[in-house]
Chain A
Amino acid sequence: MDRMVLVTGGTGVLGCELVRRLVRDPDRPRVVVLSRVAREPENGVEFVRGDLRGGGGLSLAPTVHAELSHGVTDILHCAAATQFTLPLEDARAANVGGTRSVLEFAAGCPSLRRVGCFSTVYVAGRRTGRITEEDLEDGGAGFVNSYEQSKNEMEWEVRSRMDDLPLAVYRASTLIGDSATGAVPAFNAFHHALRLLYQGLAPMIPGDPDHPVDLAAVDFVAGAADWLFQNRFEPGRTYHLCSGPAASCPLDELIDAVVDAFHQFRPEWRRRSIEKPAIVNLPTYELFVRTVEEAGNTILLAATRAVQSFAYQLAYPKTFDTTSTAAALEGSGLRTPPVLEYLPAVVRTCIETEWKAKSG
């Protein structure tokens, strides 16, 4: 039987990487990417027009729906609304509703062998401590933002269908760039926080200076997901695609490494005498944020909110267990790159592109 892989979110950071790997696959599967706009085939990839937001399936044209549901063997569901500041209902509509649409479609695919759903390690929300790959709590500890909460709810939706569909969940960490080149396919909250640090508008960050911060390389996460999905697919499993404690570094060292990279790649930055941000407890950080809000300083308020998007999670120190992932990656030849190996190159990309353009 010919393989046909349907990809949602194929133009996103992770989806794009996975599509690139699929078209290089020697088995030459048929790769179909769901797209909201009509697009011509490109580099071995077909595009079908559809939308996850319509509810009740993929909003495909009837003939397309019939062809796809008949032929699809694999689904990679990467689509997500990843903004941290969306109203919860909007985030739910995209991440829970969108997943429900994919699963509904999957249920009507007689040739379906596997579905990979992408999530985030931060479905753990405000929990602290060690988070295992099987852990999924109902949010009693709360969440830092609507993205985390909607992805947590998405995972519950996926788990509720694991008895009747071949589903696996891949939880990615914060993706910061390519481990070989430092290229940044898209700037996210982490990179914006770096920019504010660079501009001297980030006086403090909440967190524990000695606790590791999990950041991950795009190429590693995509490579691991590709391997697990194609070669080690096991329905009902959840995997942490992250650096894990061994390849992460403590928050204090991370900030030092960023500042060192600023000095290395912009020597004149040193003349600006910008002090590295203080690492503070959450009440102090929240008092600062409240003060900025009360003062009504729009520039500092925007900067504080931007830092907050990334940094707030640091106030809830946690480590992500990777036992299942590490076992399943045996034989893949993949190595988890330590973040300090490629962080400087990522910072260089940010500086050289002025946080504006895509690179790589």
Chain B
Amino acid sequence: MTDPRRDQIAIAGVAYCLPSSAFTLEELGTRGSLKSAPETLAGFGFQQAHIAEDESHVEMAMRAARDLLEETGTDPRDIGMVIYAGALTSSSTLAVEPAPGGGALYLPDLLDLFQYPVSRVQSELGLTRAAAIGVDQQACASLFSAIRIGRDMLIAEEELSAVLCMGADKLPPNAPREMIYNLISDAGCATLLRKGGSDNRILAVGHVTKGAFWDAAEMENEIIAAYFPTARTVILETLRKGGLTIGDIDWIVPHNVSLRSWEILLGLLEVGREKLFDENIARVGHTIASDNLINLRDLLGSGRVRKGDHLLLFTFGYGLNWSCIVLEH
């Protein structure tokens, strides 16, 4: 039996931050940042990647959160919980630049291990009454986990009225910009969960982890093969939990992996291409964990979503993690 309070939690706002620097596929190819030929990635729907050169990951996340608080008119002291999600170990561990030396993780001092991004965020944004929680190890699905936890905390704790979920990921300098035929960008985003909202109510969340695929470097082919059938299973199961079918969905808000892979997944789901909000795949690229929220904001901002529309957000992360959220606008 579904808890009737569950559908009273809503996404009250979304904001994001993209770095100002963007590089075309040709430029990235010239820099040696791609494994595939630029034209192959272009054929999969990509055009450019945003790369944070001056901004740190935490700064991108904070910029998004500041915009969100301002746009929603939220007093930072109303936030009872802030959940910071990082897909990369550097994102979730370091409150400063992830890798000044060019490596994936740079820890010159033991105490650097205790410099948590979420604490810095709580302080700099003035979230003085917010309990700070970090979420990681779900890769691109980390923010979905944050939203799930935030929703459940709002349901469980009567005094809690608003949860801020935020995060950002930035690849180390000079890192390859292609993973499993996807073009990777840096970005940050933030979303506000509130009790009793009428727009964008969370109807259901679903998450499946298959730890058998934890060794991403060794299992790339198996991961590609596992992606599609499991994605379909997770999506259909999440819809079932929300009392919906795939035919009830008006919009699919994707993670920005290759457009081709979405076309295949739509075929598996028997959903028309017109329901996919795909406009950011070329422009934004795959921003690790921020894709769906970036796309949700832009879709809502486009004015095309009508009251009562059902939105399906789906993402997939190493680990492996498949995650899905269903909203009612």
- Which residues of A does B touch, CB under 8 Å? 199-204, 271-278, 280-281, 283-284, 287-288, 291, 294-297, 299-300, 303
Contacts and interface: CB of A to CB of B under 8 A. Distances in A.
A271 B212 contact: yes
B37 to A, nearest CB: 9
B261 A291 contact: yes
A63 B233 CA distance: 67
A283 B221 contact: no
Given A204-B228, A273-B210, A300-B225, A278 B260 contact: no
Given A287-B264, A288-B264, A295 B36 contact: yes
A74 to B, nearest CB: 49
A127 B120 CA distance: 66
Chain B, interface residues (CB within 8 Å), range: 20 to 34
Query: Chain B binding site: helix, strand, loop or mixed by DSSP?
Result: helix
Interface in B239-278: 260-261, 263-264, 267-268, 270
Contacts of A287: 260, 263-264, 267
Contacts, number: 68
Given A275-B230, A278-B232, A303-B221, A291 B264 contact: yes
Nearest to B43: A294
A203 B230 CA distance: 9
Contact of A201 (B211, B213, B225, B232): B225
Contact of A203 (B181, B210, B225): B225
B226 interface: yes
Nearest to B230: A275
A294 B181 CA distance: 11
16 contacts: A200-B222, A201-B222, A271-B212, A275-B229, A275-B233, A276-B229, A278-B268, A280-B267, A281-B267, A288-B228, A291-B44, A294-B43, A295-B36, A295-B181, A300-B221, A303-B225
B228 A200 contact: no
Given A291-B260, A291-B261, A296-B40, A275 B226 contact: yes
B318 to A, nearest CB: 14
A277 B229 contact: yes
B267 A297 contact: no
A297 B224 contact: yes
Interface in B174-223: 181, 210-213, 221-222
Contacts of B43: 294
A202 B222 CA distance: 9
Given A277-B229, A284-B267, A288-B264, A297 B221 contact: yes
Interface string B115-157: 0000000000000000000000000000000000000000000
